[in-house]
Structure formats: C-alpha cells, structure tokens
Amino acid sequence: MAVAIVIGFTMISFIHSAAFGVMETVKIKAARYFSGHISLTGYVWEKSLIEDPETLISTLKNMDLPLRTIVPRTIYYKSDASLFFGGESIRQRRLVGIDFEAEKDELSGLSFIDGSLENMLINGENGILISKPAADMLGARVGDDITLFITLSSGQYNTKTLYVEGIFNETSLFGYVAYMRQADLNDLLLWEPYLATDIAIYAEDGENLEALSRKISMLLADDYRVLPTMLSKSELYEELSMVDWTKGSVLAPLTLNAHLDQLNDILDAFLIVTWFVLILFILIVMVGILNTYRVLVYERTKEIGTLRALGMSRMSVRLMFLYEALLLSIISSLAGFSLSLILVEVIKIIDISALPGAGLFTENGFLKPYLNLKMACVNMALMAGSVVLAAFEPANKAARIMPAEALRTGK
Amino acid sequence: MKHFCIFIILVILPVSFISAQSSDIEFLKEVDRMVTFNTTDIAAEYKIVKRDPGGANSTTVATMFRRDRANQFVILILEPVVDKGKGYLKIGDNLWLYDPIDRSFTFTSAKERFQNSSARNSDFNQSNLSNDYKVTGSQKAKLGVFNCTILELEALNDRVSFPKRKIWVSEDYLIRKIEDYSMSGQLMRTTAIPNYQTVGDRWLPVNMVILDHLRSKRINNKIEYERTTITISKPSLSELPDTLFSKEYLERVNR
C-alpha cells in the first residue's frame, strides 16, 4: 500500500514538474522571440514604428511598476528576410534588431553552440546571431560573412553583409529568427538609428501579465493613444483595422500569453493530459487503498473486537483507521517527493532532442523540469484526501463491528 | 573677370547641367525605343535554363505575347510538365499569376523571381528606363568588341525591381550588360546580352545570361553563381487578338 502511494506520488510530482518545466521553457523562449513579457508595438498609418522610443521608455521607467527590463527593439515583420551564404539561402520568420547592451541579461539564457553573446557585445557592429537550423542550411560558421536580404516598405530591395558572431541552439519555431544590432537593422531599413518598432518589457517573476499590461495602458493613456490589451493577435489585427489613422499613431500592448495564443492551445492540451494522468493515478491509488483496508479490517477483526470490548468507541475505531491512512499517505508522499526529486535530476541529463518537436520545450535537447513546492503541497493534500476517502468505507465498517461477534471469529 | 565668373556660375553651369540631363534622358529614350514594339504586337518563345551553382539544371519554356502600346503581356508556361498551363497576365500595373490546378488568379509582383529563376517578372516588361531611372553618372568603356557608354542609374519610383543599376550601352543603343544593385549598393545580379535579333525595325535579344550574385558558391576555389540563360526564339510581329490579354484566355487554354 505504501509502495503504491510512493509510486503514485512520485509519478504525479514528476509529471507536474515536467509540465511546469515545459511551460517555463516555452515562456522564456517566447519572451526572447517576441518582445519580452509585454510588448508595446507602435503603429503609424498601419506600419510598425515608434517615433520617439526614448521618451516612451523613460515614461515606462518612471512608473512604479514591477518591471525588470524595458528596452527598444526594431523588428522586421515581413517574412521575406533571407540569409544568403555559399549558394544557399534561408528565409527568416523574424529579424530582430536589439540593443544588446541593454538587453544582455534577458538574452543570457540563449545557449550557443558556437560564438557567444559576448561576441555581439564586443564586435557587434555588422554582426548577426543565427540559429542552428539556419547555420546548418547555409553551412555557415562563426566568422563567415553572410548576406542579409530584405525589402523596404517601399518595396525596394536592400542587402547588407553581416558577420556571424554566434550560432544559437534553437530548433523549434522560435529558431527561425536572427538577432542583430538595432542600429544595423535600422540602417538596412534606411531608418534613423534611434527609431524602433517595439518596446520589450520584461516583468518581475510571478506577475500577472494581463493585469500589468492593463495598468501600463492606463498610465500611458494620458500621453499616448493606447489600444486596449488584446487577448490574441487576431483581436489586435481586428482592432488595428478600425483605427482612425488621421488621429495619429497608436501603441498596442500585447502580453506573452496573447502572443502565444495559438501555442497556448497546445500547452493547455498538454496540461489536460497531465491532469488526466494525475486523476488516473489517484484513482488507482484509491482503489488499492480501498481493497487493502478492506483486507486489513478483515484481518484485524478480532483486534477491533477486543478494543471495542475494552471500551473504545465506534468513532475512535473509525478515527484510528483514518489517522493511520493519513499518516501512511503523508509519509509515503514525502518518500514519493524525495524519489521524484531524484527522477527530476535524472531526466535533466537525458537528451531527448531526437524526439520530434522536442526543440520547442527543451533547452539544448534537455528537459528543464522543476518542482513547484506549492504544487507539491497541493498534490500531497490531494493524495492525503484521496487516501482518507478511500479508507473511509473500510474504517466505517470496522467501527460497526460488534465486539462479541468479532471475538468469536478466528481472525 | 569677377563678372565673367559670376556669369559662368549663374548661366553656363546650370544650362550645361540641364542640357546634360536632357541628353541623358534622350539617350535612355533611344535605348527604350530600340526594344519597344509600339506599333505592333510581339510574340516569342523563351527558353529559360537555370543552373544552380555546382548543381542541376532546370528548364522552363514559355511563350510570351506582348502589347507594349497598352502595357500588357501574357506569358504561358509550356514546360516543365508540372507547370504547364501556368500563366502570367499583366495589364497596366497589375500582374496576375494563373494556377491551372487551383484554377485561381493571384496577384504577384513584378519584382518576384520568374519561376524561381534569376529572372524577375519585370524582365519581360517593355523597357521603360527613361521614366523609371535617372542617370547619376556616365563614362565610356570597351566591353569585348563593343564601344559602350556606361550609365549609372538610380530609380525614380518604387515600382522597379532594382533601386540602382549600371548599364552598358553599345553605339547602336542596345544594352549589352546590366548590373543590378540593392539600395545599399551591393551587386545582386549581372545580365549579359551579347546578341540581338532584328524583328521588324526593332531589336529583341537572342539570348541573355543572368548571374545571381546572392546565390553563389565556391567550387574548386572558383566562385560559381546561379546562372539563368534565356534564349528567345520564334519572334513574330503578327497582330494578336485583344481577347488574348485577358484572364479568360488563360482559363480557356487550360480547358
């Protein structure tokens, strides 16, 4: 019985830690790929542009809000940005111009298979960070000069020769992106170096992004035309189509959850599966406890009869079994928690990059599960409740045993 | 002496500048005129062979019908078999691509690559250099057997595929070489047109070789570019029916 609880709790804790790890990994990757936890995109006549990002950033910094980093970004939103090298070419889903000095802490999680973030900080001018799939496709290595091709808003072609300063290990959908200096991308777009398309806002850990975004919109509303915080990109596009552009530019805040709208469906499905598995484990444990306690009560009939004959009340007999079940579940859960800690450490060193789609929720091919203490306590309470509930019927049966009848039985 | 200098600055220099500019425009107009069929329609078969650097060849054969006076053309793909029936229709500034499998027309851009070759859709347009570009520099040079004028051009509008170009024009006002540059001045494409054929009183290239400088590869210590060779044959000046320059025509030929 104890073994069943230990295994059940280990599996529940492990599945939860893996699910939390997956969600956290996806969110960290997404925050790098999109512009932080909350992005503020400027629009001037439907084109992405913030004309005075510096003032906007200082306004945001002066707000007394739990914001960790506020930096400008220039993002090339068209999907025709192409990298050329050695007769090969690859399209990039997104081209991001970054102020590396200002955003270095947030980008420090980017893992490199060649080159580094420091390369961009030291020799960043005309440098570019490309993903592993892009480097593999082009056959490019750090130090190679590649040609970046884009079309300007006017439709004219423009190109720039850039040096690969780093190849980051990102194979998921967040991998079809290249990072370069904001000034270089602005130069390619024939923009002034200070212009930006987005402000990337990184919030302190654990903040409610939707509430924070609403607060930012409210505080900016005095000086800027700010759209309400949307729940998805499609909502934003719909809202943008209704904007009266003659009244000037607008700012559109979007949280990470809104950016991940489509991906959230996958993550929600993943969570549903983990909850289903969890419920299944609990049911198995409950059936096991029920059967074991039935046998236990049968085995201890004579003992119960003796205790009852000595004056023990029905309630005391019932509580005796329930306390025993509770104690058993707590001790077994703690053992299961310890075992899951070991399992989490083991899974951290297993490379699962060969699995299809693993790149989306792994860092360098490794899962990053972590045990959430709050969730472990909830699980423990859930497990204890389930065990006590399963033991209730046998405990009740034990309480109803008549002492005389019990003492007559062979057990 | 002082008055003479002022006279030169105020009168002679602007006059010579304006006359140089107008002579450049006249020169470009003459270049355009040599390859524009304003009084007749023109039809020809284009064989487009693309060779990847160090890789395989792919061939496209298409028939082109052009009516320069109305700024229209129709290109019908004959080969390869998988693309047979695809067609391009240009009416004014609008360019459509017809897909016979979906039976649908989609808008496309003159700047797009033609059937994934180094040629752009705009390469099939009539020449309109005098309206699309201004001359920013010129010099004389010899290109093989041709005595050429090299003109450096800068786009006057956003419709053109390349914002900067350099053209080599021989003494007969025919373009012998083109270098296409991006906005930043990077060489993107080189086109050589060694031979022309006379069609009526106008000229049509016999063949063109286009090198895509973005798609190059070093093979055996030698840089090889994606190379597209266009051979133009069976030119005809026969009058074409008006119905040919329509969407219905492209749908009909695929039935």
The per-residue pLDDT for range B211-240, each reduced to its tens digit, is 998 888 878 878 888 899 999 999 999 888
Residue B255, H or E segment: none
Residue A226, H or E segment: none
Residue in B closest to A155 by C-alpha: B158
In a domain, B19, yes or no: no
Residue B81 is encoded by which pair of tokens? 């078999």
Q: pLDDT of B143-199, one tens digit each?
A: 989 999 999 999 998 888 889 999 999 999 999 999 999 988 999 999 999 999 999
Note down the domain range covering B122: 32-253
Interface-testing mutation among A159, A185, A191, with chain B (most B C-beta atoms within 10 A): A159
State whether the Cα torsion B84-B90-B91-B96 is positive or negative: positive
In a domain, B22, yes or no: no
Contact between chains at B183 and A152 (C-beta distance less than 8 A): yes
Task: Closest CB to B216: pick one of A87, A149, A154.
Answer: A87
Q: pLDDT of B3-44, one tens digit each?
A: 656 655 555 555 555 555 568 888 899 999 999 988 899 999
pLDDT cut 70: percent of chain A above it: 98
Query: Nearest 5°: phi and psi at B19?
Result: -70, -35
In a domain, B105, yes or no: yes
Contact between chains at A87 and B226 (C-beta distance less than 8 A): yes
- The C-alpha angle A284, A286, A287, rounded to 5 degrees, equals 65
Counted domains in chain B: 1
Task: Closest CB to A157: pick one of B55, B183, B217.
Answer: B183
In a domain, B57, yes or no: yes
Interface check for A396 against chain B (CB to CB < 8 A): the answer is no
In a domain, B14, yes or no: no
pLDDT higher than threshold 60 for residue B1: no
Residue B186 with chain A: CB contacts under 8 Å: 147, 159-161
In a domain, B9, yes or no: no
Spatial CA neighbour of A286 closest among A379, A397, A383, A377: A383
In a domain, B25, yes or no: no
Interface check for A86 against chain B (CB to CB < 8 A): the answer is yes
Residue A188 is encoded by which pair of tokens? 């390619």
Query: Nearest 5°: phi and psi at A369?
Result: -70, 150
Strand partners, A95: A76, A178
- The C-alpha angle B62, B64, B69, rounded to 5 degrees, equals 165
Between CA A152 and CA A64 the distance in angstroms is: 38
What is the domain-level CATH number for residue B53?
2.50.20.10
In a domain, B23, yes or no: no
Would strands A127-131 and A112-115 be described as parallel, antiparallel, or unpaired? unpaired
Interface check for B163 against chain A (CB to CB < 8 A): the answer is yes
Between CA A263 and CA A275 the distance in angstroms is: 19
Nearest chain B Cα distance for residue A152, angstroms: 9
Confidence of residue A72 (pLDDT cuts 50, 70, 90): very high
Neighbours of B144 (CB within 10 A): 11
Contact between chains at B214 and A159 (C-beta distance less than 8 A): yes
ipTM attached to this prediction = 0.71
Q: What pLDDT score does A123 carry?
A: 77
